[in-house]
Amino acid sequence: MNRNRFAANAHRLLLAWILGVTNLTAALAAGFVPPLHIQNEVPQARLAGQGSFRWLGLKIYDAQLWVSDQGVIANAPLTGKLALDLRYARNFQGAKIAAACQEEMQKLGLGTAQQRAKWQTGMEKLFPDVKNGTHLTGVFLPDDGARFYLDGKLIGEIRDAEFGRAFFAIWLDAGNSAPSLRNALLADAAPR
């Protein structure tokens, strides 16, 4: 965490304490206002959790999960709108991001080979190349698929309910390849 971010979070915690907020999670979340595109997509969006994904010790991205009051129940099917925002720490080609997503879906046993190939093609068309600092946001659309934003600007959607569930399972399924990130994302995701 860089010094400015640490100072900003310390200031938020002090302010929350002064205002009488006693729940640490609520105090941390109180300083986080969802980006406008997430506010527009997820009613009453609140930060459920955040964490970093690393591969061989290298940070790949920071992730934030935004949920509505409907929240997310761990190990239950997704039912409400949510947004997953990834802030990349490295440069990646969009096609490689799509291929990695398809591989994770396959590891989780989601979709048929034909569906995954179709989904990968759809993701390759949508996902741009990213660089350090790029935000790629996915919005889960219950019974409809997923919508995607690049740095807050709509880039498209994949209208397939099974794709939507499979895509977000990469981060939220109990059997995923990054259980510590999953736990961090779901830290405060329960319905309110």
- Does residue 120 lie within any of the structural domains? yes
- Does residue 191 lie within any of the structural domains? no
Instruction: Report residue 74 as tokens.
Output: 């761990």
Domain that holds residue 17: 1-31
Q: Which residues, other chains included, contact 158 with Cβ-Cβ below 8 Å and sequence gap of 6+?
A: 119, 122, 123, 126, 145, 146, 148, 164, 167
- pLDDT by position in tens, the chain (length 192): 444 444 444 444 433 444 333 333 443 445 689 999 999 999 999 999 999 999 999 999 999 999 999 999 988 888 899 999 999 999 999 999 999 999 999 999 999 999 999 999 999 999 999 999 999 999 999 999 999 999 999 999 999 999 999 999 999 999 999 999 999 999 999 999
Give pLDDT, residue 77.
83
Mark whether 23 and 112 lie in a shared domain.
no
Bridge pairing between strands 46-55 and 82-88: unpaired
- Does residue 163 lie within any of the structural domains? yes
Give pLDDT, residue 185.
98
Mark whether 44 and 133 lie in a shared domain.
yes
Mark whether 58 and 105 lie in a shared domain.
yes
Give pLDDT, residue 31.
61
Residue 73 belongs to domain with CATH number:
3.50.70.10
Mark whether 11 and 95 lie in a shared domain.
no
Q: Looking at this protein, which amino acid is placed at residue 130? A: V
Mark whether 46 and 61 lie in a shared domain.
yes
Instruction: Report residue 108 as tokens.
Output: 């989780």
- Does residue 38 lie within any of the structural domains? yes
Instruction: Report residue 166 as tokens.
Output: 């499979």
Mark whether 92 and 20 lie in a shared domain.
no
- Rounded CA-CA distance 107/158 in Å is 21
pTM: 0.83
Mark whether 59 and 40 lie in a shared domain.
yes
Q: How many domains does the chain have?
A: 2
